Structure 1
Amino acid sequence: MNGTAACVDPDREELISLIYEASVHPDGWQPFLNAFHRSLSAYFSAIMFRHRPHGSLTLMVRRGDDGEDGIPSRIYADIAGSGPIDYETMESGQIYTLRDFSAHGEIATAPVFTEHLKVADKGHLELVAVGPADGFRAQFLWVRDDATGPLDAGERAWLKSLLPHLERGMAIFARKILLQVSSGICTEALEQLAFGAAALDKDGRILVCNRVADELIDQSEDLRRVNGRLIFRRKDHAQTIREFATNLDIARTEAVFRLRNGEETIGVLARPIAPRAADNAMTTARVIVYLHALTGHAQPSPVLLSKLFGLTPSEAMLAILLSEGATLREAAQQMGITENSARTYSKRIFLKAGVRRQADLVRVILRSVAMFGNG
């Protein structure tokens, strides 16, 4: 030990427990930092989360032994940002001192030393990085006073014994954060395009439901909620969803139908989800349901579809009706043509749009609306 005994009896098991708690509960990093700070007898400690190449930065800091959390942002910015620390070149798991980033003798003139550390008799800044330089990583930084000194051999060995746990904890934390970001982007994209999405379990219980789906479910005359379950009022719709949820060998992979929504119509695309063997069948999502209000402004015009896919006016009109969930018979009746003629038109539509099924046509047309508007 150097000077005043530091890390006399660190509760290593507590720190390890806090690491794994923080890996699944982001608020847990502050309790870990507090315990880490005390164990190191540090004057100042910080955790910096960085995600390359996106450049995001989150800070958690602690100062002093009196329980005071946080330091003025200006002072921290000076400590973290005024060289010579090169965060990008740090190797994961290696403990660095300020001198490692300076040529011999230059440390005495570095602003971080002369303006902050030396004047406060806190001359020992050390840090360690955990995680890949080109991905999600954390840097743990601490400052100790001159009386305590830098980490000695025993303290370094103690810290290195924590590093495998920090690496595993950070890997879990990074996956969780990146999944949240990815999920948030997908949810926002669906909502920007006014698409609802709901995941149902084998009993029709709603496991996940975004804001748009919530609104459309409440508005539709053909849907209702009962004890957390999504109920389709029409028997054929309910049967389709039930088959998707309970029959893993079902040949059909998608279904398209329409629901009433006052004067509007809600288009529905339902798809079964095969559960993984490791999942619990009681909680695994079995069906995902996409909903979209087929309002006039959300529908592509026949002119747009004609330009995009080279459809004739009659083919374009039939494509729109099919994308709304109409059957060939229903579409033929609305257009005043025979069902055989509608079937002939549909084959041409599928060929020109490069699809084989009505569900694929729905996706192509909805994508055209999202990209080009209603024409």
Structure 2
Amino acid sequence: MLTLAKSEKGRTAAVTEETADDILSMQDAGKHVGYEKLDRLLGAIYEGPMESPPWSTALQQMRDVLEASHVTLMLRPPSSESQGVMINTGKVNQQATESYETHFFALDPFVRLPEGEVITAEELIGKQQWLKSPMYQDYLRPLNIRHLMGADIYTKEGIECRLRLTRPNDAATFSPEDKALCRFLLPHLKRSLRLHARLDYLECDRQLFAGAINRMLLGMISFGQDGSILELNQEAQRILGEKDGISRSGSGIALSSNQENRELQRMLRQALTGGATGTGPAVVEAMSVTRPSGRAKIGIVVRAVPIGKWSESKQRPAAAIFLRDAESSGAQPSQEVVRRLFGLTRMEAALALLLADGLTLDEAAEQLNVMRNTARTHLRSIFCKTGVTRQTMLVRMLLNSVVSLG
């Protein structure tokens, strides 16, 4: 017999085997599918946010346990504005998937299901109406899909996620026990979806700031507690790849100069120790790296990454090194950004960027293919619009503005 279970609203309901919306207890769920299988399935649900695509293992295990042809998780249901994001298991017909994303989603009556309810399409709209629907006749039937069961998940973060399971024509309908097991899994999947949303938010933040650092041509290398490199951005890869005074060495980095290398390793050890204790060096340490090629030195800043209050992972960043190559010539900032930021014309924006890049007025005029007097006229207009009175002030203002982020 199934046991008593509490709904999400806290109501206690008597659950029987004949009730379509039964909720299995953990003990009954274990008996129904086997404790080992249930443990693996729940583990896969919570590890799903770290997979790519997410929940692929959990959906496959759910498909096996419920003997379904397909299990589909629509993280973002298709709409007229977007094809959505769907994760499919089972034998997937790519053409059929694209047909649903571009056309049949609008004909699908099996949507906007009550929160937390597990229901079949026939229960929702009636057997005859479902079997006569264009969704079944034109889309599912040719794919040998007869039985459709699903549930929708809604969260306070605005997530609307759809879980759909199918069986073919020659299979049995989904039983009350199948629906009870599916309903048992829903709260766990909902929690995992919220974890995924949080991780996605943090990853978006990370990508945004990583992109800004790359645009500023600042190399960054993060180190684990053992001093090994965890991550390095695009600019750091470029600098290390040149092997001009600084390069990768095993799992860390090394400098060509033995004296400079000893100093860098001392600074790094101190930062790692400070990060582990939460104290860190009182002053951020810095040094310059000599390049055998004779090019300008590379500036280095080393700082600890303070440990969080609840941090426990040994793979967290414990220290970071920032690199600056004074001779690096990255992507030219957008003229459109400069034009909009300071109210300049396109010619004025082009001239301002050339001056910020180190060209003299004569050199900039030659590159723009204009007379020197014309360039001086544009420069006076730039001064008027930006409020500066000297070329050095203009260059300083451009370099200190948000132009490099554009």
| TM-score, normalised by the number of residues in structure 1 | 0.63
Query: Runs in 1 of length 4+ with deviation above 6 angstroms?
Result: 51-55, 302-309, 313-317
Aligned to 2:99: 77
Pairing partner for 1:246 from 245, 252, 273: 273
What letter is aligned with 1:215? R
Distance 1:36 1:210, change over 3 A: same
Distance 1:42 1:282, change over 3 A: closer
Aligned to 2:192: 169
Pairing partner for 1:94 from 105, 109, 117: 117
> Retained in 2: the 8 A contact 1:197–1:209?
yes
Report the alpha carbon displacement of residue 72 of structure 1 after superposing the two structures with TM: 4.3
Distance 1:174 1:316, change over 3 A: closer
Matches within 5 A, 1:325-364: none
| TM-score, normalised by the number of residues in structure 2 | 0.59
Pairing partner for 2:164 from 116, 123, 141: 141
What letter is aligned with 2:281? I
Aligned to 1:58: 86
What letter is aligned with 1:288? A
Matches within 5 A, 1:181-260: 181-201=204-224, 204-219=227-242, 221-231=244-254, 233=257, 234=260, 240-247=267-274, 248=279, 250-252=281-283, 254=284, 258-260=288-290
What letter is aligned with 1:195? L
Mapped pair 1:279 → 2:301:
no
Partner of 1:285, secondary structure, is coil
What letter is aligned with 2:89? V
Aligned to 1:42: 68
What letter is aligned with 1:273? V
Structure 2 gap segments, 5+ residues each: 1-16, 19-28, 331-355, 361-378
> Retained in 2: the 8 A contact 1:98–1:126?
yes
Report the alpha carbon displacement of residue 196 of structure 1 after superposing the two structures with TM: 1.8
Report the alpha carbon displacement of residue 160 of structure 1 after superposing the two structures with TM: 1.4
> Retained in 1: the 8 A contact 2:216–2:404?
yes
Pairing partner for 1:15 from 41, 46, 49: 41
> Retained in 2: the 8 A contact 1:204–1:231?
no
Pairing partner for 2:180 from 157, 160, 169: 157
Report the alpha carbon displacement of residue 81 of structure 1 after superposing the two structures with TM: 1.5
What letter is aligned with 1:291? L
| Partner Cα distance (2:63, 2:226) in 1 | 49
| Partner Cα distance (1:133, 1:104) in 2 | 33
> Retained in 1: the 8 A contact 2:56–2:87?
no
What letter is aligned with 1:25? E
Mapped pair 1:25 → 2:51:
yes
Over residues 171-202 of structure 1, what are the superposed CA-to-partner deviations in whole Å (9 max), with x where a residue is unaligned? Answer: 34444445445444544444455432111345
What letter is aligned with 1:33? L
Report the alpha carbon displacement of residue 265 of structure 1 after superposing the two structures with TM: 4.2
Aligned to 2:149: 126
| Partner Cα distance (2:272, 2:76) in 1 | 41
Distance 1:366 1:267, change over 3 A: farther
Aligned to 2:10: none
Distance 1:227 1:246, change over 3 A: same
> Retained in 2: the 8 A contact 1:203–1:229?
no
> Retained in 1: the 8 A contact 2:227–2:272?
yes
Distance 1:242 1:286, change over 3 A: same
Partner of 2:107, secondary structure, is coil
| Partner Cα distance (1:143, 1:283) in 2 | 41
Report the alpha carbon displacement of residue 92 of structure 1 after superposing the two structures with TM: 4.4
Q: Which is further off, 270-279 or 257-266?
A: 257-266
| Partner Cα distance (1:95, 1:125) in 2 | 11
| Partner Cα distance (2:386, 2:288) in 1 | 25
Structure 1 gap segments, 5+ residues each: 63-68, 320-352, 354-363
| Partner Cα distance (2:72, 2:205) in 1 | 27
* Pairwise CA RMSD: 4.6
Matches within 5 A, 1:296-307: 297=329, 301=358
Partner of 2:46, secondary structure, is helix
Distance 1:16 1:116, change over 3 A: same
| Partner Cα distance (1:41, 1:148) in 2 | 9
> Retained in 2: the 8 A contact 1:220–1:260?
no
| Partner Cα distance (1:259, 1:54) in 2 | 50
What letter is aligned with 2:235? V
| Partner Cα distance (1:39, 1:283) in 2 | 35
What letter is aligned with 2:221? A
> Retained in 2: the 8 A contact 1:82–1:111?
no
Distance 1:86 1:270, change over 3 A: farther
